[in-house]
Amino acid sequence: MRFSTLNFAFLATLSSIFTVVAASDTTTCSSSKHCPEDKPCCSQFGICGTGAYCLGGCDIRYSYNLTACMPMPRMSTFQESFDSKDKVKEIELQSDYLGNSTEADWVYTGWVDYYDNSLLIQMPNHTTGTVVSSTKYLWYGKVGATLKTSHDGGVVTAFILFSDVQDEIDYEFVGYNLTNPQSNYYSQGILNYNNSRNSSVNNTFEYYHNYEMDWTEDKIEWYIDGEKVRTLNKNDTWNETSNRYDYPQTPSRIQFSLWPGGDSSNAKGTIEWAGGLINWDSEDIKKYGYYYAHIKEIYATAYDIPNDVKLDGNSTKESDYHAFLYNSTDGDASNVMLTTKKTWLGSDDATGFDPQNDDEDSSSNKAQETTITSVSGSSTITSVKTDSTKKTANVPAQNTAAAAQATAKSSTGTNTYDPSAGVGGFVQDSKSTDSGSSGSSSQGVANSLNESVISGIFASICLGILSFFM
């Protein structure tokens, strides 16, 4: 099909109008600007909204008020291997997740697939990559993963613990250096580049390694293949200026991510740390259409919670306290409570202070059918199954503090990724992996509604309009 200059001008004009409208409809939040009441929940990328914005990543510090964010589902000890297509399919199906963690263990933004007994996370040409996140929160415990990283300068793979107030414990892998994994930590999102330490292994792209983070109230220990490579003592993180410990201390989700640290729009320091500008014309992009990393196994051992934790509820049964909640926007460990409140929302317009999850017959919830699948001895609903009109969970999934700038932006170039063209038929060159094909790759919409998605939808509409004139 050939477009005339007039048609291109028409499309450009419509795009310009849409960009202005979209920009004007975005409400931002920060330490100096809290969210308004009609969009009360502040995502970790500084965007206000409702629905899924009030779930994972909702930052109490910059939301409209303390009750805007929903309670955080509590994680139990678990182990999971991504050794079947069905397990990856379960992740792909969570595009309408609204907080019922009994129905979903993982959500994601970006592109995931199954290949060679592993979860394949992908970063297609000129995209911001992929983030996979647990729906439940760990408050002290040992978490481990067996994975193979991506490679090439500017490409960053990460395995982290990340809290809604941006406490963070990391393993980060820069693609230009495949023998020195980096351990790192942050407290409430404050960047401190002195916190990073390198370790030594053989090639992280060609070989699977096991990475562990052992997190207690007093210290954090990092392990690789069973060998301790670093210890951080809480006492060594005291900050005399802020009069607090700059130590990760709040309930956190497990995350895996693949992102373009070397994107040209990033800060100079980020690009240099990532190994320079990313090569969007690399062998991987030419051959497969994307960069990739493998996640073979993930597990966590949940430790006992602090003895002095406060309770939000009347039940005497510990199992009823299935979620975490903050009682102050300070966001420290002393502000974390256990609650019996439900963690799920009744619609994508709901919020923490209006969750719309009490009366299934209410006018605000007519499109939703709720079934109670288990009730505790104190008549507290502990498990629900929700069937509603499909909605896109529209909050961007979080990434590391260092990655936030890169993942928050929309893509700046042409995305040549085309699942229907067979790009999902992945064949890997790295060792200990047989050739084969996978199912078709999918672009996840769980927890995402960014400018690139909106622009893509709008472009399709415009092309449809143009076809009418041609």
The residues assigned a catalytic role are 168, 172
Structure token digits, residue 15: 């795009």
- Asked if residue 211 lies in contact with residue 295, where contact means CB atoms within 8 angstroms, the answer is no
Query: To 5 degrees, how large is the angle CA 15–CA 17–CA 20?
Result: 105
pTM of the model: 0.76
Tens of pLDDT, residues 117-144: 999 999 999 999 999 999 999 999 999 9
When pLDDT is cut at 50, 70 and 90, the band that residue 191 belongs to is: confident
| Region label for 249, one of left (φ > 0), alpha (ψ between -120 and 50) or beta (otherwise) | alpha
For the chain, give the number of residues: 470
- Give me the mean pLDDT over the 221-244 stretch: 98
- What single-letter amino acid sits at 374? S
151: Cβ–Cβ under 8 A, 6 or more apart, which residues? Answer: 175, 178, 205, 291
Sort 372 into a burial class: Cβ within 10 Å, 0-12 / 13-18 / 19+. exposed
Bigger pLDDT: 343 vs 12: 343
Residue 386 clears pLDDT 80, i.e. is over it: no
Q: How many domains, the chain?
A: 1
The helix, strand and coil proportions of the chain, stated in percent and rounded to the nearest 5, come to: 20, 30, 50
When pLDDT is cut at 50, 70 and 90, the band that residue 359 belongs to is: low
d(CA 147, CA 132): 14
Tens of pLDDT, residues 259-301: 999 999 999 999 999 999 999 999 999 999 999 999 999 999 9
Determine, yes or no, domain membership for 349.
Answer: no
- Of the candidates 467, 367, 461, the residue with the CA atom closest to the CA atom of residue 17: 461
Determine, yes or no, domain membership for 177.
Answer: yes
Q: What is the mean pLDDT of the chain?
A: 79
Tokens 């580049």 locate to 193
Determine, yes or no, domain membership for 423.
Answer: yes
Determine, yes or no, domain membership for 291.
Answer: yes
Query: To 5 degrees, how large is the angle CA 397–CA 401–CA 407?
Result: 45
Q: What is the DSSP letter of 34?
A: P
Bigger pLDDT: 151 vs 410: 151
Residue 196 clears pLDDT 90, i.e. is over it: yes
CATH of the domain at 141: 2.60.120.200
- Asked if residue 107 lies in contact with residue 135, where contact means CB atoms within 8 angstroms, the answer is yes
Determine, yes or no, domain membership for 30.
Answer: no
The domain in which residue 257 lies consists of 72-304+395-454
Residue 24 clears pLDDT 60, i.e. is over it: no
When pLDDT is cut at 50, 70 and 90, the band that residue 358 belongs to is: confident
When pLDDT is cut at 50, 70 and 90, the band that residue 370 belongs to is: very low
Determine, yes or no, domain membership for 50.
Answer: no
Determine, yes or no, domain membership for 183.
Answer: yes
- Of the candidates 164, 136, 99, 217, the residue with the CA atom closest to the CA atom of residue 326: 164
Determine, yes or no, domain membership for 186.
Answer: yes
Residue 308 clears pLDDT 70, i.e. is over it: yes
